Chain A
Amino acid sequence: MMHFLLLFSRQGKLRLQKWFLPLPERERKKIVKDMTTMVLARKPRTCNFLHWKDLKIVYKRYASLYFCCALENQDNELMALETLHRYVELLDKYFGNVCELDIIFNFEKAYFILDELLMGGEIQETSKLSIVKSIEASDMLQETMEEYMSKPAF
């Protein structure tokens, strides 16, 4: 199971954090700091896997954002890379040529998409099409309600 998933910029600013384990706030802040330090220190042509405490850290850089997740020992690291890639593809499909700014200004949508891909630290849906359809349907539900109430979304 995945313990957490983080997105941060090249300057170490956090853009998204998903925790699948209950940890106190202070602990989370420390982990974020450790991850950003460790991952940003990696040289360009090194492998995408690290060891940290008893977890395997898998990270991948997409443009200006680092996607970083922590796995347990029995988890398949190569599959985790595929999972991160799947998430990026979904974001790309949703926002159309996604860039960091999209995720900054629409962070709540990034979370909603993530919640359709992962749950409890595990993959919940393996079909990209299915996820895209669910997101569209939920957004539609929100918009219709909002239109009805004649108030804009966030």
Chain B
Amino acid sequence: MTDFLNIALLFIQYTVMTPSVRLQEMIRVIRSARTQGEERGIIQRECADIRSQFRQGDNGERSHSLAKLLYVHMLGYPAHFGQMECVRLIASPRYSEKRIGYLGAMMLLDEKQDASLLITNSIKNDLSHSSQYVQSLALCTLACMGSAEMCRDLAPEIERLLRASHSYIKKKATLCAVHIIRKVPELAELFTPSARTLLSEKNHGVLHGAVVLITELCERNPDTLVQFRKAVPELVQIMKGLVTSSYSPEHNVAGISDPFLQVRILRLLRILGHNNDTASDAMNDLLAQVATNTDSSKTAGSAVLYETVLTIMDINSESGLRVLAVNILGRFLLNNDRNIRYISMTSLQKIVQTDHNAVQRHRGTIVDCLKDQDTSVKRRALELSLALVSAVNIRSMMKELLIFLSVCPPELRSQTASGIFNAAERYSPSKRWHIDTILHVLTTAGGDVRDETVPNLIQLITTASELHCYTVHKLYRALIKDIAQQSLVQVACWCIGEYGDLLLKGECEEIEPVQVTEDDILDALETVLQSHMSSPATRGFALTATMKLSTRITDNVDRIRSIVSIYGSCIDLELQQRAVEYNALFKKYDHMRAAVLERMPVMDKNSPGHTNGDTSGEIKEPDTSKPKPVEAGLLSEPASQVCDLLDLLGGTDTPLQPSPAPTSTPTTTSSADLLDLLGGLEIKPVPTVSVYEKNGLSLKIQCDKQTETEVTVTLIASNSTQNDITNFTLQAAVPKSVQLQMKAPSGNVIPAHGLGQVTQTVLLNNPNKVSLKMRIRVAYSNQGAMHQDTVQIDSFPSAACQPSFSPL
């Protein structure tokens, strides 16, 4: 019954009542709609009504209709048919119509609509209207949605208003000028003279606008900035007036006199004092005064203090002032208001590099903030804590960070884990501590660590030879407890495979002895192999580890043999290939199995790309060995052979070094030896042939045949002069039928005294098998002089091109 009544009422409302249903009435009707569909129906009817109202022309109802349309627009319905109406209403002489017309323009028109240009003329007229409220409408609209053309058109008007009018209009004209400058930067010069004089205004609104305008001018033009530096004393005077003035109720906010203006002036002072001693000196006293006298019990005061601190840190302030600023931030950290704690940490983050010691003093409080409820605060505290880790506090900080890792929200875990790795990398007091820490992270948050963690950890473990026994025991225990964390499992499998003999020994100084039998170990590895939780990579690790144990255990070799042969028919291609190869190792090459599976040599951590992956990338790997040539992204043949071998033996999925022991002779010979063992494959270390030697620059090439038609040529440039060679570039040309692809060079600076090299790889495809020739042009600068030269390579020594090694 009530439904019928409602529908009847609605019906009456829309057919019987006068078309000028008041705005508020319409709003009430729309809100009473019970479903989305009902609302849509009402809106449709209203819009139809509004449209017919617009068509009727001037009947005194137009402003009501536009107002209704604006409400409908806010609900999310299309309202573009009202754009022209806005234009018409703006041109009307009636204030009420203008008011709603301008509001409609700000809501419905933006600079992309064509209709916006049509209001330019109305705005121009209204800017000179007798009523300041009409002028104000025009100014406000221009500052809100004025396009670049409109701004260009009306800039002179605005400039005039800046100078000649009443403060109500002046303040608005000032902000309009700011908008114009943002839209059309070239017009900045037009407003610069007036901006200066505006600083002597008494009215706070105008003063505020003036400061905003000057800030905008200075930020855009360094010359203007220099000009306005002369205004620093005046600004300081104004600030002093605000800080020391008697109570002014009109501008007072929680005991601070006009904090809005204070904050803007401080921001302008920051820009003017930056990198300039004179200006900075002129404001030192003021900043000290504001910093000490401002009451920060309410937000307004804290806002002013915050801005003051930012200013102090960004100009050339004296050290006493800086300490004062950091102490204010420290005080903020203890504030009950969470917002203030948050911004304090954001600010500390900005200065932790430059004023490290000062921030260190507040480390305790920062670490406490890790326990805050708010995730944003936690995040800030984490970043700051990681920045504060140093050799001195590493143990205590790591304790806190590890606790944090176990309870932190999931979105922060990956960042925490990498931060911990970085810190451990730089400051670990001992290898054992380092390994323990990494293991702890892997057990707690193994799923959130980066991919490089596994090879990095393995490399770390190999270097800590005295801890092999300890490490493998710890890993074994972690493995039998839980095999869900893939990175942990991978490392554990690798270690067990490598150091299984130590595991069997049972005793180890730092762990309680536990008897582990060969069966136990093989059980553990088999569990990993069979578990559905193990990723394919992990199973690869486990299989290889099982294989390696065949030389380290004595009784259960048959069990290993059977495991390996089972996986020979595994669906996973990688596992199958491995199993087949291992099988072959058992059957045909059993005599060399021991040598193939023997202990890995200690791996070198060399290239920069090898760090424990941290986003901030602050770490510079100390170059422990003598300076090696930096080879980014280059794989020369023997190196890739070494990698393949590692793959066969070490079970690491990712090639450990993109630029491995750059073909240094010891590695090559050992790989050659092993290859000899594998019987009958000629591999000679690829020779480097020198092709050019002049003025201290020497160029060598290495070439390798990839397939019948593809050749990889590596060009190596070195510099034996006293000075660095810079802007080094190579260009190459080859006979017509040969295709050439040049890879990016490793760099374009060749250090002097032969301390470094630049390498560049060139891929050649020679489908017609013509005789290979190449012409190379080198260009470089040395001691300020430009050099250019060409070298022709007529024959690529055939001995240098060897068939490449392909694994079993």
Residues of A at the B interface (CB closer than 8 Å) are 14-17, 19-20, 22-24, 29, 43, 45-51, 74, 76-79, 81-83, 104-108, 111-112, 115, 119-120, 122-130, 134, 137-138, 141-142, 145-146, 149, 151-154
User: For the complex, is B193 an interface residue (Cβ under 8 Å from A)?
Assistant: no
Contacts of B300 in A (CB 8 A): 78, 82
Chain B stretch 617-633: residues in CB contact (< 8 A) with chain A? none
Contacts known (A78-B303, A126-B261); A22 close to B178, Cβ less than 8 A: no
User: For the complex, is B56 an interface residue (Cβ under 8 Å from A)?
Assistant: no
Closest 4 CB pairs of A and B: A78-B303, A120-B143, A120-B179, A125-B205
| Cα separation A28 to B530 with both chains bound (whole Å) | 53
Q: Can you name the residue of chain B whose Cβ is closest to the Cβ of A24?
A: B112
Contact A119 B299 (CB under 8 A): no
CB distance from A126 to the nearest CB of B (A): 4
Q: Secondary structure at chain A's binding surface: helix, strand, loop or mixed?
A: mixed
The proximity string for B residues 113-143 relative to A, scoring 1 for CB distances below 8 Å and 0 otherwise, is 0000000000000000001010010011001
Contacts of B23 in A (CB 8 A): 108, 154
Contacts known (A14-B74, A124-B205, A154-B67); A47 close to B374, Cβ less than 8 A: yes
Contacts known (A115-B140, A119-B175, A154-B100); A145 close to B74, Cβ less than 8 A: no
Q: How many chain-B residues does the 8 Å CB contact rule pick out? A: 72
User: For the complex, is B405 an interface residue (Cβ under 8 Å from A)?
Assistant: no
User: For the complex, is B51 an interface residue (Cβ under 8 Å from A)?
Assistant: no
Q: Which of A108, A119, A123, A124 contacts B70 (CB 8 A)?
A: A108
Contact B63 A154 (CB under 8 A): yes
Q: Can you name the residue of chain B whose Cβ is closest to the Cβ of A17?
A: B74
Contacts of A22 in B (CB 8 A): 110-112, 145, 147
User: For the complex, is B365 an interface residue (Cβ under 8 Å from A)?
Assistant: no
User: For the complex, is B343 an interface residue (Cβ under 8 Å from A)?
Assistant: yes
| A106, A120, A128, A141: most-surrounded residue (chain B CB, <10 A) | A120
Contacts of B258 in A (CB 8 A): 126
Contacts known (A78-B339, A122-B212, A142-B95); A137 close to B260, Cβ less than 8 A: no
Contact A79 B260 (CB under 8 A): yes
Q: Can you name the residue of chain A whose Cβ is closest to the Cβ of B22?
A: A154
| A22, A49, A77: most-surrounded residue (chain B CB, <10 A) | A22
Q: Which of A77, A78, A108, A122 contacts B178 (CB 8 A)?
A: A122
Contacts known (A46-B373, A47-B342, A142-B95); A127 close to B100, Cβ less than 8 A: no
Contact A129 B168 (CB under 8 A): no
Contact A138 B261 (CB under 8 A): no
Contacts of B64 in A (CB 8 A): 154
Q: Which of B110, B205, B307 contacts A76 (CB 8 A)?
A: B307
Contacts of B374 in A (CB 8 A): 43, 45-47
CB distance from B807 to the nearest CB of A (A): 48
Contact A78 B205 (CB under 8 A): no
| Cα separation A86 to B136 with both chains bound (whole Å) | 21
CB distance from A57 to the nearest CB of B (A): 11
Contacts of B787 in A (CB 8 A): none
Contact B373 A111 (CB under 8 A): no
| Cα separation A82 to B339 with both chains bound (whole Å) | 13
Q: Which of B103, B168, B251, B340 contacts A112 (CB 8 A)?
A: B103
User: For the complex, is B402 an interface residue (Cβ under 8 Å from A)?
Assistant: no
| Cα separation A104 to B22 with both chains bound (whole Å) | 14
- Can you list 16 contacts pairing A with B, beta carbon distance less than 8 Å? A17-B74, A43-B373, A47-B377, A49-B342, A49-B343, A78-B300, A81-B339, A105-B28, A108-B100, A119-B140, A119-B175, A120-B178, A126-B205, A138-B136, A151-B60, A154-B24
